[in-house]
Structure 1
């Protein structure tokens, strides 16, 4: 331990006392544990889910399709179906990673698809790994158009921290020099296939739009910082959601927690449901947390001088809302009255697809199963482009060739051949197709909120969650362009038989929940200051999605990482100065 830190941190032999407590072990919680332990603190990491061992815990990672009982078509329950069964992520490959909603049901005033993991590592095990920096435009958005509160930081405040986390996490991608999508410190990019490369050239030539390879937290090469914690390059299996025994993509279990454990300062406690924060009104500080043991249902308290809340957006809101006292009758730190409000998510499941029939495609294929696609950065409401809605959207997608499944009459809708002719057809790849799906920004609305129902409790006697969150007119107007532009770009790229789709999108479905404990410049209108520190309790930090004041249209996880590393550095500095 750093000798300077020894001067200030209380030494406790009691197993319930630590220098810092981190609540949650997902992307931001893992980073908090890594940074705080490496800076000399003894850290207790609390996870409500079950233990999960890296490598050996990924039960389905190496299974062949025929080894799944239902061939990855999990049958629905015959009794009352919990919300999790309507979600695309619930399947036979990953069902064992997710929380059983029946143990803690939630109520929806408006539809909300809440995805809750139930494992150490949280959603960092199943995430999509798309990793994009936010831009100056994104951090200025609220101030520019008047929706939400102004972010108390700008891109310049995070640029160095983006670089810091990118080098450790390992982000592969291609430099494009776009102000609305700043470049990262990249590993070599994964390669586009022939249709994607052709489409990229056509879009640039005909529409001056950029299509780039997705920026993903999959190692295209493993540098010493990665191999030091046991990670290897991507195997191009495209089975990431099952857990990667090679550590080829970034997760808490493959990267940040091994780094934290190497310090010998990390204690991990699973099956630990944090119900509330403990508060000392005389010192105006949190003293620790109260935990419900998920197995025994017995309460236990843990104490620390520093607390990082990284339970994920919804759960962090719930913990603060449930932390009631004389000082905080409406939730911990809620002097502004904004706790649980301004909840956001990206809206998506809209776009277009078409068939690629250009010259030179039929004799080309691609290597392996690339765990990545393409990305088209935002171009609407930038510069002279002005639309009837605020903010914008980007696209993810990709091109591929169909396989032998196209020859199955029952699924393809056409009669198949038999014998030698069928075998010959099955040995050849099918036609090329390409699809685009848009992800749009949601404005921060005050009455998009999370509350608690104290009359309905869960398996552990805790209040249940009530969602009243919806997309509104601005998002509906945006979706017209999200659909039409996708078709227009595919046609410009030369694709045929282009069709559009809009499968609707309820909040929560994108699994990019943000808000409720937002950062701001004024304690009267926000919960957190520029360092992710609660205005009302200086030793409590929130660096998961709950802290966000807006959503941008890019995936948020890389920003979770950068904010967490930055806040941890500040928090330890404040400890040294005896300000916490």
Structure 2
């Protein structure tokens, strides 16, 4: 992008400020800019230029220092929490937050892993790209069983906007026509391997209500003219996604929404600007600006706009709102309901199962497919006999063991070397992605005394999986084992695990939507009940977690909220 896009100090009053540059922030900026709004995107981290700054890309393992592993001392000092993320490694570590400079605490007896990516593009550079719509069952779940508040929207409210973002982003998948997982606007799906097709066919006969389908993912399998015009081309199945993709083959802020926003000439970006709080005008009951602290020299500056969109991630956005206090809002701006920071959710990944696939010795696969398979939630209808509420999806796929599988086996000499050269046996695994109930006691709050290097109160997490989530994962392990054995796999094993919340990296719910201002922060258009020109469109707005990966819904909610905000401005209600 052109240098004049980036700013530091300015006296301009923008039409819109967007806080955050990840999936939600990128979409907000694009939609505002394309509607003619002079827009300022505020990003707390450094600039990452598409292609230029993907410094870990195209570096084979054998050319990397420590063969791709990160130096132990560096991990201990800077990445002790971040190292738990599936995407962390030598080629991606520069995209992760520095734990030393980003401290937080947890309440006694609790654990929470907060994964952060503080740079232009945010976690859109690191996400796993699984993209699923929420369905009518998901929006109805809270109402049906009484946990959480009723979503103020339904599938029909988002259907148009799902299509809008899917066509631009590029989502690969098949028209599976399932009652519990709506179809999307799809590019062709990736192909299943031969063993996967065989298991799919067997499960279809034995478990017709549990279809095994190809994962739906934000990768360009067959780019449209729109994608090519964005400078994006077909996915090469290299399995280097998290290091950045110069092909633009997967959706990210850098590859898609940011170029679209910049193309309009309406975008400015303030990088290295850590948002301290929002500037509230009690006379007009409007947020008139944003107070930031320079990431490097800790100097202060302010930016002003007519509409404010907070898209800094569930936890980041809520921290900003909580730290924005005034006489009217002593416990955080737009928090007349008192629920800000409560109902924190994350998905529950605590079940695994796997087994050996016999045969297929003459089969192998081509490339490194960036998506696995999924069995959508088959417990989407309430059943009091089940013993727990809500349900889970099962994700997995087949793979053939390579030389790495021999590293812990005995062997010596030529025979062992020859064995390493040969492909091993086929295996298949399933892991659960379960829903977490929205519960008031699961929360984040500002620590009363501890602050970070920018003088902002640290976050303290007080969140636990409940007995419901534990029972759910025990059932997931049991059902996975039964299904794999029924499909003919051998040496099947599985169990529930006990990892704490956080590592699904699907934080949700801390500034939730709702119809009632007394029990929610936002209305059905992601607009603050209390302050008309304030919107929050990331995961903080969710009323429940469902089981689907949430990023596609972030996109749709954000595009819809911008459309609504622009109309409200035109009608002079904002």
Compute the TM-score of the two structures, normalised by the length of structure 2.
0.95
Aligned counterpart, 2:32? 36
From the superposition, tell whether residues 503 and 70 of structure 1 become closer, same or farther in structure 2 (CA, over 3 Å).
farther
Q: Take 2:495 and 2:124, find their aligned partners in 1: how far apart are those partners?
A: 29
SS in 2 for 1:74: coil
Aligned counterpart, 2:397? 398
Aligned counterpart, 2:319? 318
Which blocks of at least 5 consecutive residues in structure 1 are unaligned? 1-12
Q: Take 1:475 and 1:138, find their aligned partners in 2: how far apart are those partners?
A: 17
Post-superposition shift, 1:387? 1.1
Aligned counterpart, 2:3? none
Q: Take 1:203 and 1:571, find their aligned partners in 2: how far apart are those partners?
A: 47
Aligned counterpart, 1:503? 497
Aligned counterpart, 2:472? 478
Q: Take 1:366 and 1:309, find their aligned partners in 2: how far apart are those partners?
A: 43
Which blocks of at least 5 consecutive residues in structure 2 are unaligned? 1-8
Residue 524 (structure 2) aligned to one of 521, 526, 530: 530
Residue 73 (structure 2) aligned to one of 70, 77, 82: 77
Aligned counterpart, 1:559? 553
Deviations 1:75-132 (A, max 9, x none): 3338667433444443212111111121121001120000011211000000000001
Aligned counterpart, 2:258? 257
From the superposition, tell whether residues 268 and 80 of structure 1 become closer, same or farther in structure 2 (CA, over 3 Å).
closer
Deviations 1:365-395 (A, max 9, x none): 1121111100110112537795111100001
Contact 1:401 1:429 in 2 (8 A): yes
SS in 2 for 1:101: coil
Aligned counterpart, 2:147? 147
Deviations 1:35-88 (A, max 9, x none): 000011010001101110111111111001012212122233386674334444
Contact 1:448 1:470 in 2 (8 A): yes
Deviations 1:455-488 (A, max 9, x none): 1111111111100011001101101111111111
Aligned counterpart, 2:388? 389
Residues 1:64 and 2:60 are matched in the alignment: yes
Residue 91 (structure 2) aligned to one of 90, 93, 115: 93
Deviations 1:553-576 (A, max 9, x none): 110000000000100100111111
Aligned counterpart, 1:346? 347
What are the equivalent positions in structure 2 for 1:83-162 lying under 5 Å apart? 83-109=81-107, 110-162=110-162
SS in 2 for 1:353: strand
Q: Take 1:397 and 1:245, find their aligned partners in 2: how far apart are those partners?
A: 27
Aligned counterpart, 1:355? 356
Residues 1:185 and 2:177 are matched in the alignment: no
Residues 1:200 and 2:196 are matched in the alignment: no
Post-superposition shift, 1:505? 2.2
Q: Take 2:553 and 2:83, find their aligned partners in 1: how far apart are those partners?
A: 29
From the superposition, tell whether residues 458 and 372 of structure 1 become closer, same or farther in structure 2 (CA, over 3 Å).
same
What are the equivalent positions in structure 2 for 1:410-559 lying under 5 Å apart? 411-418=407-414, 421=415, 424-559=418-553
Aligned counterpart, 2:5? none
Residues 1:275 and 2:276 are matched in the alignment: yes
Contact 1:285 1:538 in 2 (8 A): yes
Post-superposition shift, 1:16? 3.8
Post-superposition shift, 1:503? 3.5
Post-superposition shift, 1:402? 1.2
Q: Take 1:135 and 1:47, find their aligned partners in 2: how far apart are those partners?
A: 32
Aligned counterpart, 1:54? 50
SS in 2 for 1:177: coil
From the superposition, tell whether residues 555 and 474 of structure 1 become closer, same or farther in structure 2 (CA, over 3 Å).
same
SS in 1 for 2:201: helix
Moved more, 159-168 or 454-463: 454-463
Q: Take 1:88 and 1:231, find their aligned partners in 2: how far apart are those partners?
A: 25
Contact 2:276 2:293 in 1 (8 A): yes
Q: Take 1:250 and 1:385, find their aligned partners in 2: how far apart are those partners?
A: 40
Contact 2:351 2:474 in 1 (8 A): no
Q: Take 1:462 and 1:194, find their aligned partners in 2: how far apart are those partners?
A: 54
Q: Take 1:530 and 1:190, find their aligned partners in 2: how far apart are those partners?
A: 35
SS in 1 for 2:73: coil
Q: Take 1:368 and 1:417, find their aligned partners in 2: how far apart are those partners?
A: 30
Contact 1:16 1:301 in 2 (8 A): no
Post-superposition shift, 1:504? 2.1
Post-superposition shift, 1:491? 1.2
SS in 1 for 2:139: helix
The total of aligned residue pairs comes to: 561
Q: Take 2:419 and 2:83, find their aligned partners in 1: how far apart are those partners?
A: 36
From the superposition, tell whether residues 381 and 166 of structure 1 become closer, same or farther in structure 2 (CA, over 3 Å).
closer
Q: Take 2:173 and 2:377, find their aligned partners in 1: how far apart are those partners?
A: 17
Residues 1:173 and 2:173 are matched in the alignment: yes
Residues 1:334 and 2:330 are matched in the alignment: no
From the superposition, tell whether residues 383 and 301 of structure 1 become closer, same or farther in structure 2 (CA, over 3 Å).
closer
Deviations 1:257-311 (A, max 9, x none): 0110110100011101111111111111110110111112111111100110000
SS in 2 for 1:328: coil
Deviations 1:522-577 (A, max 9, x none): 00000000100001111111110000010001100000000001001001111111
